Each structure stands twice: as structure tokens, then as C-alpha cells.
Amino acid sequence: MPGHNPKRFVLAAMLAALALRLVWMMLTDNSYEGDALARLATAYDWKNNPRWFPSVDWMPLFPYLFGTAMKVGDAIWSPRILNVLIGAATVFVYYRVVCNEFGVETGKWAAVFLSIFHTHIFICGVTETEALFALLVLLAVLFLQQHFQKGG
């Protein structure tokens, strides 16, 4: 892998992640232990009746984001496709976080491993909050890294 263009490599890892998550999404029915359906119902409820949605158990952004996806497209598939896209985007953000701490070579391998990590593939194929949570946590870490690298 030395000498390869890291941007192309990470793009390939993101495309592989996207493909794997799309295949998994198409093979599943979004009925993982009731949680996915409950989150889907919450987002659907918000889509039909937009309001402040106090969240006790789940991230508060989830019903707004996924309810908006339902307004744009199909109520069943749009949130799942959004979750797949969030999962693929997480590969890039994870790559950047790992590169900042351990270098480009390690970042490339981290991107590959996350793109084929079965738990992440599973979570991204159903309407769960964990994919969004992972992306937001990694974005927060990335912003903190950049802040402290600039001498903040």
C-alpha cells in the first residue's frame, strides 16, 4: 500500500462501505428487536406532526433528521438509505481521526476495517441511532483534534 494515493484508497473504502451497507439494507426488513421500528415510528410521527420532541432515551436529532428524510422520500426506505449514507461518511471521518493520531498508513487500514466491520454494517442497514451517534462523536473528535493542532 505504500505509494498509493490515500484519497483514492479512502474513496474506495467508502464505496465498499456504501455497497456493503446497501446490500445488507436490501436483505433485512428493519425489524431488529423492535428498536428500529420504534425509531421509525417516532420519526414518522414527527414527519406528520412536526414539533419539539423531547428525547429521554434517544438522541434528539434522530427524529428530526429521519422524519425530514421521510418527507423527501419513502417513509420506509428513505431513513434506511440515510443511515447507509451516514455509515459510509463515517468511514471518511474515522480515517481523518486516525490519520491525525497515527498517520496515513494506519488511517487507510482503519478505513478498510470500519468499512467491513460487521456490527457497523448491521447498524447502518436498519433504522437505529447508533450510526448517527458514531458519526457525530467522530466529528466532535475530529474538530477537537483540529482545534488543538492549531494551538487552541
- Write out pLDDT tens, residues 20-36: 999 999 998 887 666 88
Helical H segments across 28-117, by residue range: 35-48, 61-72, 77-102, 104-116
Distance (Å, rounded) from C-alpha 131 to C-alpha 129?
Answer: 6
Here the cell at position 128 is 437505529
Distance (Å, rounded) from C-alpha 109 to C-alpha 60?
Answer: 33
- Write out pLDDT tens, residues 42-65: 899 999 999 887 777 777 788 899
Residue with cell 478505513: 111
End-to-end Cα distance, the chain:
34
Helix axes 61-72, 35-48, angle to 10 degrees: 70
Residue of 96, 101, 127, 131 lying closest to 111 (CA atoms): 96
pTM of the model as a whole: 0.90
